């Protein structure tokens, strides 16, 4: 089975671009399943189901959605296998710019919004720099010059990636994206690893502490001057 993991900031157009790409995949008679991970709320699975594609969803609630995705890979691959799918697409709820949910043997797809400005590719970190394919959305809203600068910045951050100019409204780039999906390698669950470590934080805030005063800080703490300390037993 092929595994495609799609990440991107909220509102970048992940679902809109994917809806067009999976239509192309269906036309090629490839059996595909989709898993949609979000944090608090989603209706996107209904949009995929409308296309007749088996889709499951999960809400990570107050847990980091990328940790949640990794812990539930078994359930998601089992779902795809039950449907007899040759391909599983996971759409993640990338949020914090520290996330890169791609595993080594999956196809990592980053969806990025061109209207967020040419400095965005420098800021978003591993979900861009470790992706195989970068789909740029909303390019029709900016000038050709700004599009070219945005593209250049992406290449600076990820020289080896394949860039696709996509449009979630018109379906531009969908066929090319679908082609990349079908070229994804075989996913090997048992021995696979993350390309980049997940966002890291080990402190009492992670387990429900709400008091903000310094005297209550416990765990591994990183200060604004870069010094990292451990406070606790």
Partner 1 sequence: MVESISIIAGINKNGEPEGFSRIDVIPGEIIGVVGPTGSGKSALIEDIEQLAQKDTVTHRQILINNRIPDPALRYDPKKKLIAQLSQNMNFLADMTVRDFLLLHSKCRGKDPGLIGKVIHHANALTGEPINEDMNLTVLSGGQSRSLMVADVAFISDSPIVLIDEIENAGIKKHEAMRLLSGSGKIILVVTHDPLLALMTQRRIVMKNGGVEKVFMTTREEMNLCTQLNQIDHRLFIIREMVRKGEEVVA
Site residues (vs partner 1, CB under 8 A): 115, 117-119, 140-146, 148-149, 151-152, 163, 165, 170-172, 175-176
Pairing mode of beta strands 228-231, 219-222: antiparallel
Please report how close the Cβ of residue 53 comes to partner 1 at its closest, in angstroms. 20
Q: Is 5 helix (H, G, I), strand (E, B) or coil?
A: strand
Q: How many residues does the structure list for the chain? A: 233
Q: Give 106 or 167: the residue with its C-beta nearer to partner 1.
A: 167
Q: Give 96 or 169: the residue with its C-beta nearer to partner 1.
A: 169
Task: Quote the CA–CA distance of 109 and 112 in Å, as a whole number.
Answer: 10
Please report how close the Cβ of residue 87 comes to partner 1 at its closest, in angstroms. 20
Q: Give 115 or 204: the residue with its C-beta nearer to partner 1.
A: 115
Q: Give 96 or 141: the residue with its C-beta nearer to partner 1.
A: 141
Long-range CB contacts for residues 195-202, cutoff 8 Å, separation at least 24 = 195/100, 195/102, 195/103, 195/104, 195/108, 195/126, 195/130, 196/100, 196/102, 196/126, 196/130, 198/64, 198/66, 198/67, 198/70, 198/99, 198/101, 199/64, 199/66, 199/96, 199/98, 199/99
Please report how close the Cβ of residue 220 comes to partner 1 at its closest, in angstroms. 35
Please report how close the Cβ of residue 137 comes to partner 1 at its closest, in angstroms. 14
Q: Give 99 or 110: the residue with its C-beta nearer to partner 1.
A: 110
Please report how close the Cβ of residue 73 comes to partner 1 at its closest, in angstroms. 32
């Amino acid at each position: 089975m092929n595994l495609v993991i799609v990440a991107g900031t909220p509102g970048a157009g992940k679902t809109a671009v994917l809806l067009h790409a999976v239509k192309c995949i269906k036309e090629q008679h490839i059996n595909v399943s989709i898993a949609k991970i979000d944090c608090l709320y989603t209706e996107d699975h209904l949009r995929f189901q409308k296309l007749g594609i088996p889709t499951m969803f999960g809400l990570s609630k107050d847990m980091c959605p990328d940790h949640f995705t990794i812990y539930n890979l078994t359930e998601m691959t089992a779902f795809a296998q039950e449907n007899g799918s040759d391909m599983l697409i996971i759409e993640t709820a990338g949020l914090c710019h520290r996330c890169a949910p791609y595993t080594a043997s999956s196809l990592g797809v980053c969806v990025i919004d061109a209207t967020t400005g040419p400095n965005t590719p420098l800021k978003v970190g591993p979900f861009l720099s470790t992706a195989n394919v970068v789909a740029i959305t909303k390019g029709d809203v900016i000038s050709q010059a700004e599009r070219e600068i945005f593209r250049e910045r992406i290449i600076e951050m990820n020289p080896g990636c394949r860039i696709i100019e996509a449009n979630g409204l018109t379906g531009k780039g969908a066929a090319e994206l679908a082609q990349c999906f079908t070229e994804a390698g075989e996913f090997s669950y048992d021995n696979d690893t993350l390309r980049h470590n997940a966002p890291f934080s080990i402190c009492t805030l992670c387990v429900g502490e709400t008091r903000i005063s310094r005297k209550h800080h416990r765990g591994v703490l990183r200060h604004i001057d870069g010094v990292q300390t451990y406070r606790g037993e």
